[in-house]
């Protein structure tokens, strides 16, 4: 599918932001005053910035508030409500930590749980799309959650937790790629079933139309296999391997900052692949195999 920059930024930044807010809600780190303010500011900036970036993918961003109306059936709407609840609760918790040196810990625990719920709802937006077999698996929410946990621990400066959590996220990332590479073939969907013209083998005689359209632009993106492999290696090295290596060295703030920056760059590459490699079954109608 088309890897829109706005959605790549949304899924990358919001996951990091809500991951950091979850650790802050659990009291990690336990700083107060202006140090706590800095951590909360980063968490809110990433989470809020990611949510704002997602609206740029809408055809009518001014109608974004309508996303709150379908919470009974839409994971996007549930994500909107849980993110709003998270930011509200964590805002109150931050006031206590920053201005009153008070933990208000029950609010922190609630905010942490809501942060995890928000990331889960984001993942389920993609998991629930049966027309994209690569996403329609339980590994997708697991991937989002482990990645958010690893990135959140890294941003929170919890070195002892960040390294194993990033290693776990890397293992899940590899499993996601392995499972996804054959997901479309295993789904049993073929050109014949997509067109409904044949119960056996089918091939494209000519395109359905001569011009492009929305479906072709958004859901029939093609990425070269060589580019895909290179980006996977880059994502693993920058997103996981190098940050873990830096965390294993004697800790300094400069090494921590470098680990954070390389992690973000690697996850941006992985998120690009998450969309670019996703094969929507509508592509079969247009002759894509």
For tokens 């949510």, what's the residue?
51
Report pLDDT for 6.
87
Could you report the per-residue pLDDT of 70-96, keeping only the tens digit for each? 888 999 999 999 999 999 999 999 999
Could you report the per-residue pLDDT of 97-122, keeping only the tens digit for each? 888 876 688 999 999 999 999 999 99
Q: What is the mean pLDDT of residues 193-219?
A: 69
Instruction: Tell me what the pLDDT averaged over the chain comes to.
Output: 88
Q: Are 154 and 259 in contact (CB under 8 A)?
A: yes
CATH number for the domain whose boundaries are 5-285:
1.20.1630.10
Report pLDDT for 32.
80
Report pLDDT for 272.
92
Quick one: which of 109, 54, 61, 56 has its CA closest to 86?
Answer: 109
Q: Are 149 and 16 in contact (CB under 8 A)?
A: no
pLDDT of 40 higher than 90: yes
pLDDT of 30 higher than 90: no
SS3 category, 101: coil
Query: How far, in Å, CA of 254 to CA of 7, rounded?
Result: 30
Q: What is the mean pLDDT of residues 65-73?
A: 85
Domain ranges of the chain: 5-285
Report pLDDT for 200.
65
Q: Where are the alpha helices (DSSP H) in the chain?
A: 5-25, 33-55, 75-99, 105-127, 139-156, 159-181, 183-186, 191-195, 214-219, 225-236, 242-248, 253-276, 282-285
Dmax (CA) for the chain in angstroms is: 71
Q: Are 145 and 19 in contact (CB under 8 A)?
A: no
Could you report the per-residue pLDDT of 128-184, keeping only the tens digit for each? 999 899 999 999 999 999 999 999 999 999 999 999 999 999 999 999 999 999 888
Report pLDDT for 65.
79
Q: pTM for the full model? A: 0.90
């Amino acid at each position: 599918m088309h890897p829109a920059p706005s959605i790549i930024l949304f899924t990358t930044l919001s996951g990091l932001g809500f991951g950091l807010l979850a650790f802050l809600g659990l009291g990690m780190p336990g700083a107060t005053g202006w140090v706590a303010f800095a951590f909360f500011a980063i968490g809110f900036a990433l989470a809020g910035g990611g949510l704002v970036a997602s609206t740029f993918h809408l055809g009518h961003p001014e109608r974004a508030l309508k996303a709150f109306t379908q919470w009974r059936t839409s994971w996007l709407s549930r994500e909107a409500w849980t993110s709003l609840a998270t930011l509200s609760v964590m805002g109150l918790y931050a006031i206590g930590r920053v201005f009153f040196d008070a933990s208000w810990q029950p609010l922190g625990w609630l905010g942490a749980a809501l942060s995890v719920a928000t990331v889960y709802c984001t993942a389920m937006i993609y998991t629930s799309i049966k027309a994209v077999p690569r996403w329609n698996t339980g590994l997708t929410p697991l991937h989002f959650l482990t990645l958010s946990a690893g990135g959140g621990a890294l941003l929170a400066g919890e070195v002892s937790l960040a390294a194993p959590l990033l290693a776990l996220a890397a293992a899940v990332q590899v499993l996601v790629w392995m499972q996804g590479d054959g997901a479309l073939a295993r789904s049993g969907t073929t050109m014949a079933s997509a067109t409904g013209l044949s119960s056996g083998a089918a091939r494209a005689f000519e395109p359905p139309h001569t011009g492009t359209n929305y479906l072709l632009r958004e859901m029939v993106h093609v990425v070269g296999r060589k580019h895909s492999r290179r980006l996977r290696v880059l994502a693993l090295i920058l997103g996981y391997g190098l940050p873990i290596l830096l965390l294993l060295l004697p800790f300094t703030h400069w090494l921590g900052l470098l680990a954070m920056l390389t992690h973000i760059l690697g996850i941006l590459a992985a998120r690009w692949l998450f969309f670019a490699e996703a094969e929507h079954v509508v592509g079969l109608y247009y002759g894509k195999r």
